[in-house]
Amino acid sequence: MTKHAGGVDPVARSRARRRAAQALYAWELGGNPMGRVIEDFRHEQDMQIADIEYFEDLLNGVAEHRKELDEGLVPLLDREVERVDPIERAVLRLAGYELKYRLDVPYRVVLNEAVEVAKRFGAEQGHTYVNGVLDKLARAWRATEYEAASR
């Protein structure tokens, strides 16, 4: 695996995000405790090439901060959180968690990765919705970084 600055493997992180979006979807629909969902996903073959620690951090972080993440998303949505497509909702919460709590990840990486996951698993134009909402969220939650990138 290729490691980049800070020992991070971007391919393994991308895979962790994709699997985390699927796990969040399963968590919400299945109603199982997050620990059980993580355990179920941990044993799947492609998890061997994912960043397991990051996968678990994303899932536990979203589970722990879901109410706060949703409160940040609500003003930016055109409908209630629960009416957003379940995959898109999972992607928005994951990216919201990264924007708020994983300041080690540049906001543009968060947005790009979220759009890619939404393209892969979401509705046909879901990625454009995700991108629009997350752009506004990044402007609010990463204002300094956002402004610096806009110059």
Q: What is the mean pLDDT of residues 98-117?
A: 97
Tokens (6 digits) for 52: 């397991």
Domain segments of the chain as ranges: 5-141
Q: Where are the alpha helices (DSSP H) in the chain?
A: 10-30, 34-42, 52-73, 86-101, 107-121, 126-141, 143-150
pLDDT at 3 over 80: no
Superfamily of domain 5-141: NusB-like (1.10.940.10)
The confidence score (pLDDT) of residue 4 equals 52
Q: What is the mean pLDDT of residues 74-102?
A: 96
Q: Across all residues in the chain, what is the average pLDDT?
A: 92
Per-residue CA distances from 35 to 56, 64, 131, 138 (Å):
9, 12, 29, 29
Residue 1's pLDDT band (cuts 50, 70, 90): very low
pLDDT at 2 over 50: no
The pTM of this model reads 0.92
The confidence score (pLDDT) of residue 8 equals 85
